[in-house]
Structure 1
Amino acid sequence: MFIPEPILTSPQSGTAEAMAAQAAEVAGLLKTLAHPARLMLVCTLIEGEHSVGALEAALGLRQPSLSQQLNVLREARIVETRRDGKQIFYRLTGEKAAQLVAALHGIFCAEPATA
């Protein structure tokens, strides 16, 4: 059984200021991922790099909305881009975001075990 490392430092192992800073970081990440389109994007990108066109087709998002949400993720340093000719490819760079989405996937999306 996987036991994740604690996200926040306990009061015994750090100062209240350090814990507050960590809480702010976690809250910011959760706020960024709280939008359904951004969460769908990160869930798709956890599988690997995708072009903008592939993301648009896979998620059914219109290009203007897709670009807006990808920009939010890029500014939060959760994703980064790579250009190949005229195509732009996105991939996850935020390890904490990837771990969080993997945990959420395990809780909400995993197939129930059959007996």
Structure 2
Amino acid sequence: MSDGSGKGTRGEAEGRIGDYLVGRTIGEGTFNKVKIARHLHSQEQVAIKLIDKSKIVSPADRQRLAKELKILRKVRHPNIIQLLEILEDSRYYYLVTEYASRGELFDHIVSREKLSEF
């Protein structure tokens, strides 16, 4: 993992993380927040999942995180969000992924009750 020193960051890592300019929160979970960001050089829009290290305390939590990272590093499919980079600093792990502008899959499924396999 490389260092996402967060130079120039404010509050909950808003501002800059590594080579990314971080914007608003677009999602939230038990251990994390997801923020929209833009790569400073390529201008590519990405999502950054901020995982608060202080909330990952139990062995089960650490195992779940390790498993998630292992899977994300391996998965390569056009219909699955791609992990681009992992950064960290003393407070957070930052998972940089492709940005899906159309929202969360769960919300899409709920709104339609079911999806076709085709």
TM-score (norm: length of structure 1)? 0.34
TM-score (norm: length of structure 2)? 0.33
- Structure ranking higher in helix proportion: 1
- Structure ranking higher in strand proportion: 2
Which of these two proteins has the greater Rg computed from alpha carbons? 1
